[in-house]
Amino acid sequence: MRKRTRPGRLTGIRRLLSLMLSLNIVGLIAAALVRVSGGIVTSFEVEPEQVYGPQPYVLQQTNRGVIQPLDIVVYLDHPSPGQTVLGLLAHGLAYTVATIPMIIYARRLVDEAIATHPFTLSIARGLRRLGLIVLLGGFLAEVARSLAAIALRQGTIHDGNPLTNANWIVGASFWWIVLGFTILAFAQVVEHGCTLRAELDEVI
């Protein structure tokens, strides 16, 4: 069996990144057509008291043995374009947009590694920039998602402090923290390896 070359392996990674980029673009197209397709994205959760009001004492005693729902999912009928955008951002569109520059820059790094060498100071600096892009993009996406979830809910239900309501936290994702710092750590390893190789070359 013929051993696969390094450029061949990197080409496979590049194809995977291209596939991920294509899926993100498809996701953006689907988001743009959500009002045409009739998809429901303007939904959020509220406490039962905000829908039915507080139960009188008599009903509380009567329903003591009945399992009460913790939350009720609310769907908005005929949402406005603004509410649709908020719903999309609150349900994943923010992350779809944020990951596009991450994938594009990662693919550029792979192209550079194929053209030159994967263990160079230039690649190390590129990995460091990629890690920062992941951290910044993930942070901005999470902020946009949280603010959209708060705005969508408060635009319909005006009572309560939105910052003290825990429902907007539902759906929060922090994968970008782990991924970003992992890339930064790997960039440091690559840079250290390049430095050691340069020192060995001087000795030899």
Tell me the pLDDT tens digit for each residue of 80-107.
888 888 888 888 899 999 999 999 999 9
The answer to whether residue 152 sits within a structural domain is yes
The answer to whether residue 197 sits within a structural domain is yes
Q: Give percent above pLDDT 90 in the chain.
A: 39
The answer to whether residue 1 sits within a structural domain is no
Q: How many domains does the chain have?
A: 1
Q: In the prediction, which pLDDT does 30 show? A: 87
The boundaries of the domain holding residue 177 are: 12-46+77-203
The answer to whether residue 64 sits within a structural domain is no
The answer to whether residue 68 sits within a structural domain is no
Q: In the prediction, which pLDDT does 194 show? A: 87
Q: Is the pLDDT of residue 62 over 60?
A: no
Give the chain's length: 204
Rounded CA separation 145/161 (Å): 18
Tell me the pLDDT tens digit for each residue of 76-86.
777 888 888 88
Rounded CA separation 71/174 (Å): 24
SS3 (DSSP) at 162 = coil
Q: What is the dihedral of CA 49, 53, 56, 57, to 10 degrees?
A: 20
Q: Which two tokens stand for residue 166?
A: 């825990």
Q: Are 67 and 99 in contact (CB under 8 A)?
A: no
Tell me the pLDDT tens digit for each residue of 144-192.
998 888 888 777 766 656 555 555 566 788 999 999 999 999 999 999 9
User: Which residues fall within 8 angstroms of residue 95, CB to CB, at 6 or more apart?
Assistant: 138, 141, 145, 173
The answer to whether residue 58 sits within a structural domain is no
When comparing pLDDT for 142 and 69, which is higher? 142
The answer to whether residue 16 sits within a structural domain is yes
H helical segments located in the chain: 6-32, 34-37, 48-52, 57-62, 81-88, 94-115, 121-154, 175-203
For helices 175-203 and 121-154, what crossing angle results, to 10°? 170
Q: What is this structure's pTM?
A: 0.77
